[in-house]
Copies of this chain bind each other. A is one copy, B any other.
């Protein structure tokens, strides 16, 4: 069984000391969200996650969600916990007060997302898609629809899902077959099968609001004929009360390697009543509102799972004695705690330096998201939006891949014990392993980054990002200079790689495609390094006010710059070798 202490100090450090990031402080909307208020929220969040949610992780793994007579039953304890969870208002944290939300910025809700991912990813998934669906409806639906659906969703009494995948289409949504037939009253009837639907059914909420992409009868093939529909489990009457059960049934739930507490459903739509959201044939655009936010949250899942894996392996390494460290001269066979061994320390610092750097990057991204939504200046808004779109695939893919690495390293520290069910570490390794797959595999993220995000209709986003970093690195401060120097070396490598890949996007798409995963990793390492650099600036400037804390930051950053960021070397040397020999290869 794992233990967990929410990293409130580190979160508050970011919230208090890094508020200045690019225009975030100029937002009127959040002027009242004081550090004291945030601290209160995070401390309450820590309590519910540590005490109420954490035990659900093991329960869900041992007694997975099941399908019983067509009805999904969540694991023991989930119902009671969910009741308390919504009573305390956690589903409403970042939602609009107009619909009953608390109106907190994403800088705060992202911290909560991280904590909940650490405590139990399976439990989290029952409300996570509701927030995505809330955002999508809030952006694209009519006021009438918003008023009918959003308050209950914000309250957590109803949940939401995202129904995209079908047996023949996951990545490639253009292939989808679910049909929507328009009725005389302007509603639609949907028929088809959706698979891998997270929380497609459950026994926690009174209703489930499915957001479904489908093709209406007269729409063209491919992605240009896809519309978005709101399809409730129970039809909602005009007065907001629940009407009859809609034509949606749960065909089966998946038996999976991990996140067993989460019900992953096959949903069959059989003339289910649906309402079109947003413009016809533009359903993918509307759905992308949900998907982009969701991709960031999946990145945060990787971060949260990494954090709890790190914490538990750190504790274990201080309790387990094995072998003598190099400074132990005793000859009586007595052993040292394994945390004395250089190799174990290196492993722990690897985890810590990646996790804290990721958290700082994620905070920056949350800030930019808010700027992109709420700044007065259109140009600033657009620039922030471009940075968010650039960094979304990076955060999704890089954080989840690092989650695989970090949970694996944690297991390695536990040795044989880590492979048994008792410690809970192997569960983290299994649970995390879905994150590089869902919401678009990490290869899809890399391709999205390379082919759509570097340069878009608003211009050369990546060059703007690189120039921003470059400008910040031009410092004359002696303390931070050594770090700036290292980051600059790797920024130069990113620049070279970027111009190489831009040329290939034009002239040799396969070269760019084969290099895309490496490119994403290089940008991810630079972005985390840059986030560390911002943390370092504060750490040196504010050093005297909190010496121990800042010394820890400086040393952790030091590890990142010495041992982690050099991974860029290999990515660059292998990726820029082209693809002809790969495309020409004849697989038997």
Contacts and interface: CB of A to CB of B under 8 A. Distances in A.
Interface of A: 165, 168-172, 174-175, 195-196, 221-223, 254-258, 314, 318, 321-323, 326, 331-333, 335, 339, 341-349, 404, 408, 411-412, 415-416, 418-422, 426, 429-430, 433-434, 436-438, 441-443, 446-447, 509-511, 513-514, 516-517, 552, 555-556, 558-559, 562-564, 566-571, 573-574, 577, 579, 581-588
6 contacts: A169-B322, A257-B421, A343-B516, A416-B437, A566-B574, A570-B571
B175 A333 contact: yes
Nearest to A565: B574
Contact of A430 (B257, B345, B511): B257
A4 to B, nearest CB: 15
A420 B574 contact: no
Nearest to A168: B321
Contacts of A314: 587
A429 B256 CA distance: 13
Contact of A322 (B172, B257, B411): B172
Contacts of A347: 443
If over half of A's interface residues share one DSSP class (helix, strand or loop), that class is named, otherwise mixed; here it is helix
Contacts of A422: 255
A222 B438 contact: no
B343 A514 contact: yes
Given A570-B567, A581-B558, A418 B437 contact: yes
B555 A581 contact: yes
Nearest to A548: B586
Contact of A443 (B170, B339, B343): B343
Contact of A420 (B255, B323, B555): B255
Nearest to A430: B257
B256 A420 contact: yes
Contacts of A516: 343
A35 to B, nearest CB: 22
Given A342-B510, A348-B587, A222 B332 contact: yes
Nearest to A579: B342
Given A555-B581, A585-B559, A333 B222 contact: yes
A375 B335 CA distance: 41
B513 A343 contact: yes
A256 B429 CA distance: 13
Given A174-B333, A314-B587, A341 B513 contact: yes
Contacts of A421: 254-257
Contacts of A586: 552, 555
A511 B346 CA distance: 11
Chain B CB within 10 A, most for which of A321, A513, A570: A570
Contacts of A165: 416
A349 B585 contact: yes
A171 B322 contact: yes
B568 A333 contact: no
Contacts of A447: 343
B582 A256 contact: no
A415 B430 contact: no
B416 A438 contact: yes
Contacts of A567: 570, 574
Given A342-B511, A343-B447, 10 more contacts: A172-B322, A175-B333, A256-B420, A326-B510, A341-B513, A344-B443, A408-B433, A569-B570, A570-B570, A570-B571
